[in-house]
């Protein structure tokens, strides 16, 4: 047995009927499956144990993903129901998010001003929960944001806690995340100040905000190295027509979230109190 956690062993295939693959990341494949006893559909995130053991700290990161997910419980975060371990695989039983990846939807159907605002509101609310539990996600990017269902384009859910970790547990200096989306302080190793904290998620949330607003990524380049350099130097073009034609409040929040220095970025809590969220739609609509 690979995992220290309480896992139900080997009974996975007796309990679930797996149909098609619905997603793929760098570590896992995600399948659509139904629980035989109830008929309820789930998304199953399947890890190949042999592959995970070949990865640097693969076992630890799998255990971390479980630990973080078990600590979190909020409407806009994917919920982990159970973990199974069989001879070759580890399976996470997750809520099925029927709406697919956020960006797929955004491409076919650009957001209205109101929809973008509601989506960002829900997204930041989920971040507040993660940070309040002393966790950070560290890998916020478009393919890790999914939509709950096909009807709403604002019910966003954060998935993939594969790089998530706990704050205060160790000094964070590990370089991780995805170039193009990651906070600059993670890419720059500074002897005197090697830390980063929950503000790295605010930066990545700002990158997503930018992409949804403009349809382009802030850090571009001919190749991986060029993207990395632009990300590291935090060179962001704010002079795009989609940005300049937005409200002053939106522009202010976007710029604050994308500040190069993490200390200048607002916390998730402060983001939600920003005047941007006080215009257009009635806040009461969103309070469950
Ligand atoms: P990895 O850790 O390998 O990146 P992810 O957790 O990001 O794996 O899952 C890979 C892909 O599978 C996602 O980008 C998404 O498209 C899809 N996916 C993940 N979780 C769900 C879910 N709960 N419901 C529907 N699709 C999902
Ligand atoms: Mg992923």
Condensed to tens digits (0 to 9), the pLDDT of residues 254-284 reads 999 999 999 999 999 999 999 999 865 655 5
Helix (H, G, I), strand (E, B) or coil at 259: coil
Q: Count other Cβ atoms within 10 Å, centred on residue 194.
A: 12
Predicted confidence at residue 286, as pLDDT, reads: 55
Predicted confidence at residue 186, as pLDDT, reads: 82
pLDDT at 94 over 60: yes
Please give all residues whose beta carbon lies within 6 A of any atom in ligand 1, as ranges. Answer: 22-28, 30, 43, 45, 78, 94-97, 101, 143-144, 146, 159-160, 162
The atom of ligand 1 lying closest to the CA of 65 is 2
pLDDT at 163 over 70: yes
Helix (H, G, I), strand (E, B) or coil at 142: helix
Predicted confidence at residue 109, as pLDDT, reads: 78
Beta-strand runs (E) in 36-110: 41-48, 80-85, 89-95, 100-101
Predicted confidence at residue 250, as pLDDT, reads: 97
Counting every residue written for the chain, the total comes to 288
* 95-100: average pLDDT: 95
Helix (H, G, I), strand (E, B) or coil at 28: coil
Q: Is 8 exposed, middle or buried (0-12, 13-18, 19+ CB in 10 A)?
A: middle
Q: 159 alpha carbon to ligand 2 midpoint, in Å?
A: 7
Predicted confidence at residue 32, as pLDDT, reads: 98
> Among 1-5, 19-23, 69-73, 183-187, where is mean pLDDT lowest?
1-5
* 241-245: average pLDDT: 96
Helix (H, G, I), strand (E, B) or coil at 47: strand
ipTM score: 0.99
Q: Is 103 exposed, middle or buried (0-12, 13-18, 19+ CB in 10 A)?
A: middle
Per the CB < 8 A criterion, the answer to whether 227 and 180 are in contact is yes
CA dihedral 9, 11, 12, 16 (to 10 degrees): -160
Predicted confidence at residue 288, as pLDDT, reads: 45
With residue 17 as reference, give the H or E element that holds it: strand 16-24
pLDDT at 31 over 50: yes
The atom of ligand 1 lying closest to the CA of 94 is 23
Share of the chain above pLDDT 70, in %: 89
8 or 220, greater pLDDT: 220
């Amino acid at each position: 047995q690979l995992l220290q956690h309480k896992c139900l062993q080997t009974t996975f295939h007796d309990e679930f009927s797996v149909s098609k693959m619905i997603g793929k990341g760098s570590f896992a494949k995600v399948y659509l499956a139904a629980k035989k006893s109830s008929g309820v559909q789930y998304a199953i995130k399947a890890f190949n144990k042999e592959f995970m053991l070949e990865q640097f700290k693969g076992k630890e990161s799998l255990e971390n993903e479980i630990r973080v997910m078990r600590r979190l419980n909020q409407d806009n975060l994917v919920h982990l129901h159970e973990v199974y371990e069989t001879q070759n695989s580890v399976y996470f039983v997750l809520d099925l998010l029927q709406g697919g990846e956020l960006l797929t939807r955004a491409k076919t159907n650009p957001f209205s001003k109101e929809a973008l605002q509601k989506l960002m509101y829900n997204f930041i609310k989920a971040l507040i929960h993660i940070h309040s539990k002393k966790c950070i996600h560290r890998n916020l990017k478009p393919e890790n944001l999914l939509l709950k269902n096909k009807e709403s384009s604002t019910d966003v859910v954060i998935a993939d806690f594969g790089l998530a970790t706990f704050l205060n547990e160790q000094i964070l200096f590990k370089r991780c995340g995805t170039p193009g989306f990651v906070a600059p302080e993670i890419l720059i190793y500074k002897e005197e100040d090697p830390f980063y904290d929950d503000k790295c998620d605010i930066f990545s949330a700002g990158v997503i905000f930018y992409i949804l607003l403009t349809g382009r990524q802030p850090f571009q380049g001919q190749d991986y190295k060029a993207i990395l350099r632009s990300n590291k130097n935090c060179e962001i073009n704010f002079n795009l027509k989609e940005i300049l034609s937005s409200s002053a409040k939106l522009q202010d929040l976007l710029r604050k979230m994308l500040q190069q220095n993490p200390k200048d970025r607002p916390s998730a809590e402060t983001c939600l109190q920003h005047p941007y969220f006080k215009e257009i739609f009635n806040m009461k609509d969103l309070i469950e």
